[in-house]
Amino acid sequence: MASVNPDLQPFTDTEYEPSSLDALQSDEMRTLMNAVDKLRHVGLGTVLQLPQLVVCGDQSSGKSSVLEAITEIPFPRKENLCTRFATEIIMRRAIKESISTKIIPDKTRPAEEQRKLKEFRNSISGFAELPALMEEATNLMGLGATGDGGPRAFSRDVLSIEITGPGLSQLTLVDMPGLIHAENKSQSKEDVELIRNLVDDYIANQRTIILAVVSAKNDYANQIILKKAREFDAKGSRTLGIITKPDFLDADSENENSWIELAKNRDIYFELGWHILKNRSDKEVAKSFEDRNRSEAIFFSKGRYRYLDRDTLGIEALRVRLSQLLFGHLKRELPSLQREIQDRHKEAKQRLQLLGGARSTTKDMRRFLMSLSMEFQIIVNAAVEGHYAHGFFDSVDTTKALDHQQNMKRVRAIVQHLNLQFARQMELLGAKYKIEEENEPPESLREKREKLKKLDGPEEVGSALDDSYSNPEHKQIPMMKEKALSWVRNVLMRSRGRELPGNFNPMLISELFWEQSGGWESLAKAHIENVAHVCDRFVRHMLDSITAHDASARLQKFCVDDALKDRLSRAHDELNKIIEDKSRPPMTYNHYYTDTVKKMRNKKIASMLRGVVDGQKDDDGMVDGEKFILSLENDSLDPDMDRFSAQDALDCQIAYYKDELKYFIAAVTKRVVERYLIHNLAEDTISPMMLEDMTDDEVKLVASEPESTAMERRYLLNTLQSLEAGKNAFKNAIGLLY
């Protein structure tokens, strides 16, 4: 223990009376405080936001005096001495009396510095030793003497002082460094910012009761803490204003009256109100707490203070207010704190499950990989088969797009949707020319895209993947029937062989079909890429969900990346075979082809007959049979043989296109998508057989555990243990209360 600085002197020996805090406690409240205290004792103070009282204010506002008046713990005093780090006072009931201290290091410090500060754990026999202990802590934190111009005047580390005893009340308070208005030679700009950020961190905690201390020696409108309190607690629902040093006000002055108006909650309003305390004067420093309280009571019995509510004056009334305030605050926060513990417990278990067991030996690594691969197989196969009972899949979220991460887990549903989109796209946009009848207006591209978007109904939430189906790179050209005949005639004239007039070269159908289906390849490739993208995202997300990031990343690099690339490559190879088949001369044995040609010819004949009949009707609407037959004979004379051939070829091409379109859609979805992208997805990426064939070096490469993962596991195990202790503490507390 460091020697005591002669400038740092404790109060003269005074008997510490913990019973003076009894006003803060009831049996029910002690039970609540005991539950919260156990959470802090098992180390959950750094994991959860625990209820606490935080004493904060501007520099020299009398914060420490308020703290010692509440706790009756004599803190060191020195002229111009200020609080330079947060001091946490924890008071606990126990059979034995003890005073122990420790430093809770700032998390942003280097690991080695944190370790050294954590080693600081001292016990003292009395408060006379407190000044030396605080000086030792100050030095360990790297803080030079105040005013020495050293690099650090303040710290984000916390000095924790835990006091236990049989008659002690359960209570935790935190004394914060005072907020600084401006930098000076001993307090830099960085110090000013550090303290403000530190205070912000504490009072931003929604479970913190803010004891905002303001000194009557300075204009309260200029005191930073009031602005801070209203910033983080706009309604004042967890802020109690405390006015100190009222004895510095001139009696019956306008200034005194303004402070009394503030105390009445008429100027700056806090739901919790205001309180006034009289600190010890410099001449009263050596007096006991009993003398301090007596002097305060006498002061408030005179002047304008006589007319104020007794509940807002003096330390005894403050203890009663804090008792009621803490009790109500704890009862309100208990349910949410309990839920937070349960949520954190669940989260820690899930994270620990992701990390898996320790992997220190090759055997451990193989066991880890085998377990992971089996779980991988179960989930991937379930996703491919469309069985979504496993917990991995979560519930359906209809408010999110189909390609949202949560919905993307259901691979079979997404692939089915994409296959349907592809089929509809091929039907609506697959042909180079959209051939329309003369008496029907051409359908706009916009309307066709709307049909695509409405594939699953108007309530569907679309996805980015759908855009590639409604807006393909391949653009369709609208074409009326007459223009289509001109197109066919142009091709016919350039494709003639030895066929007689009125007939056409069989290769004409090939030429027409190849041109009409020229965009199929690009549409099919885009569809394959979309499905492959879905599989890729699913596998990677699934791995990230069932194991630690480091193991997932290495498995993806070592196994998954090449496997998915190979599957996509084989899918493209199969598509190329289908496209190659399509480029051969037409061939079909499907009777739907002849049925379609027959229907189109019958429709054409019916249309022609309807025209002849209409032209031969007399005034009574009757048709002369002889004239009708003669009209048919004349209509057949001297036909345009090229037009006749073009019409016949166009009908054949349309029928063949429809037949081949159905085949192509089925071939792409079955032979390519299903066979090479969906089937055996688990077996081709990560399978037990594949992992079993790995050498020891390969196993180490994939499954070895970095130190960061081992550290995280230790942290999670400790956190889980603390959270389980916290759950038990709450269970016991609630059992006693209810």
Q: What is the pLDDT of residues 247-297, one digit of tens each?
A: 998 988 999 999 999 999 999 999 999 999 998 877 777 788 888 899 999
**Cα-trace Rg, the chain:** 42
Greater confidence, 594 or 542? 542
* Per-residue model confidence (pLDDT) at position 715: 76
Would the pLDDT of 139 be above 60?
yes
- Length of the chain equals 738
| Percent of the chain with pLDDT strictly greater than 70 | 78
pTM comes to 0.57
Q: Between 462 and 68, name the one with better pLDDT.
A: 68
- In the predicted model, is pLDDT for residue 636 greater than 60? no
Q: Which residue has the higher pLDDT, 133 or 25?
A: 133
Residue 10 has pLDDT above 50, yes or no: no
pLDDT at 36 over 90: no
Q: What is the pLDDT of residue 14?
A: 41
Mean pLDDT across the chain:
79
pLDDT band at 607 (very low <50, low <70, confident <90, very high): low
Is the per-residue pLDDT at 462 higher than 70? no
Spell out the residues 6+ positions from residue 458 whose beta carbon is closer than 8 angstroms to its own. Answer: none
Mean pLDDT for the stretch of residues 193-203: 86
Cα-based distances in Å from 358 to 215, 367, 384, 717? 57, 10, 31, 12
**pLDDT per residue as tens digits for the range 142-187:** 776 554 445 556 777 888 888 888 766 667 788 888 888 777 776 7
Quick one: residue 236, left, alpha or beta (phi over 0 = left, psi -120 to 50 = alpha)?
Answer: left
Q: 């625990």: which residue's tokens? A: 50
Residue 275: its H or E element? strand 274-276
More confident residue, 469 or 383: 383
Distance CA 326, CA 53 (A): 9
Is 70 exceeded by the pLDDT of residue 21? no
- Name the burial class of residue 345, with classes exposed (0-12), middle (13-18) and buried (19+) by CB atoms within 10 angstroms of its CB: middle
Lowest mean pLDDT among 1-5, 157-161, 192-196: 1-5
Give the contacts of 635 (CB within 8 A, at least 6 positions apart): 608, 612
Neighbours of 664 (CB within 10 A): 22
pLDDT for 485 equals 81
Residue 62, pLDDT score? 87
Mean pLDDT of 192-214: 88
Average pLDDT of the segment spanning 469-483:
76
pLDDT of residue 450: 62
- Model confidence band, residue 298 (pLDDT cutoffs 50, 70, 90): very high
DSSP E strands, 318-445: 433-436
The whole-number average pLDDT for the span 633-662 is 74
pLDDT tens per residue across span 114-123: 888 888 888 8
The mean per-residue pLDDT over the stretch 706-711 comes to 68
Q: Give the Cα-Cα-Cα angle 92, 95, 97 (nearest 5 degrees).
A: 70
Compute the distance between CA of residue 133 and CA of residue 123 in angstroms, rounded to an integer: 9
Q: Give 340-394 pLDDT, tens digit per residue.
A: 878 888 888 877 777 776 677 888 888 888 888 899 999 999 999 999 988 888 8
Q: How confident is the model at residue 312 (pLDDT cuts 50, 70, 90)?
A: very high
The structure tokens listed for 467 are 């855009």
Query: Whole-angstrom Cα distance, residue 327 to residue 170?
Result: 12
The pLDDT value recorded for residue 11 is 32
pLDDT surpasses 70 at 81: no
Q: Which amino acid is at 164?
A: T
Q: Does residue 438 have a pLDDT over 90? A: no
State pLDDT tens for residues 674-694. 999 999 999 999 988 888 888
What six digits make up the tokens of 412? 């079979």
Dump pLDDT digits (tens) for 448-457. Answer: 556 655 544 4
Q: Where are the alpha helices (DSSP H) in 73-119?
A: 111-118
Q: Which residues lie below 8 Å from residue 62, measured CB to CB, with a gap of 6+?
A: 213, 215, 244, 245, 277, 279
Between residues 284 and 204, the one the model is more confident about: 204
- Per domain, the residue ranges of the chain are 50-342, 372-700
Confidence of residue 23 (pLDDT cuts 50, 70, 90): very low
Q: Would you state the pLDDT for residue 637?
A: 46
Tokens of 537: 């995202």
**Per-residue model confidence (pLDDT) at position 16:** 44
The mean per-residue pLDDT over the stretch 476-483 comes to 81
Q: Return the pLDDT at 465.
A: 66
The predicted pLDDT at position 345 comes to 81
336 or 706: which carries more pLDDT confidence? 336
Pick the CATH number of 50-342 from 3.90.105.20, 3.40.50.300, 3.30.420.10, 3.40.50.970: 3.40.50.300
Q: What pLDDT score does 4 carry?
A: 35
pLDDT band at 77 (very low <50, low <70, confident <90, very high): low
Q: What is the pLDDT of residues 563-590, one digit of tens each?
A: 999 999 999 999 999 999 988 888 777 7
Are the CB atoms for 72 and 167 separated by under 8 Å? no
Percent of the chain scored above 90 by pLDDT? 23
pLDDT tens per residue, range 484-542: 787 878 777 777 766 666 667 777 888 888 888 888 999 999 999 999 999 999 999 98
68-96 average pLDDT score: 74
